[in-house]
Amino acid sequence: MQSSTQTAELTIGTRGSPLALAQAHEVRDRLCAAHGMAREAIAIRVIKTSGDIILDRPLSEVGGKGLFIKEIEQALVDGEIDLAVHSGKDMHTSLPDGLELSAFLEREDVRDAFISLIARSPDHLPEGARIGTASLRRAAQFKRFRSDFKVVMFRGNVATRLRKLADGVADATLLALAGLNRLGEAHRATLVLDGPAFAPAPAQGAICIETRTGDTRVRTLVEALDHPPTALRVAAERAFLATLDGSCKTPIAALSTLDGETLTLFGQILAPDGSASFEDEVSGPTADAERLGQELGETLISRAGKDFIDSLRRGH
């Protein structure tokens, strides 16, 4: 689905999956409501990314999560689109020159959903159960939870993964509850996973809007959609990720909460096979969100030790 860009005042770039389109439509609807614009004034351009094309290998083997944004960012740099809509957890911690994150929509539910047709919870899965996921974090957390679990590579959009589950490719899978909610598919969740053992990816559940640096017209329009509490929480989580040099080769989880002017950040790093885990928590003023993320990252680097961190960065 794609709106005409010929007469549009603004063009949004997005991936073409049902979830990505739902997110782009939400941004368009919010822009229209905030500025009294007609829907026809905002076009949606679908851009196929490498991550949408390469489905037979884990992301960690073919370039990481940047595969879902590279072509969209290039279209933004080239002026083919005016803004890009992304899932926050897909974003690198450093952006290409000339691009910036101008707004974060109010965050959806950050938790993961456990989905199984044979068990009502991870505890009830049979020995040696197959967990379908392409996420190193989810795989590591589940193997940490129960070392007998086997991990089966699951790639594709939500519908594809649910179909693979129904076809018996795996006994259970995990999806972000935020995505299920945005697609009206929350009823698919067998159990919503809570607690530090299954902490989410940094920035999970947050839609972000990327624009060109210095494009004041577009920035002014999208800033009206920014949700400051979400932006603060994501800033802390992204700073934590950046300090750890996080990538798709690094199983990292983070979850921040706000209580008035106090931000609390939980962080976790794991061995890919679940054999080791290091976690901690830090609290401080919201004004120090990025510093808190850096501080927590440095704490976990110190606790885990250089050899462990280096092995993660090498993808071993």
End-to-end CA distance of the chain: 40
The residue ranges of DSSP E strands in 139-187, in sequence order, are 150-152, 172-176
Q: How far is residue 158's CA from residue 87's CA, in Å, rounded to a whole number?
A: 14
Token readout for 44 is: 């949606």
Q: Residue 134: which of 49, 248, 14 has the closest Cα?
A: 248
DSSP string for 205-251: T-EEEEEETT-HHHHHHHHTT--HHHHHHHHHHHHHHHHTT--TTS-
Length in residues, the chain = 316
Catalytic site includes residue 90:
yes
Token pair of 310, please?
């280096």
**CA–CA distance, 134 with 176 (Å, rounded to integer):** 13
CB 19 within 8 A of CB 188: no
The tokens for 178 are 């935020």
> Which one of the listed residues 90, 112, 171, 215 is annotated catalytic?
90
Residues with a known catalytic role: 90
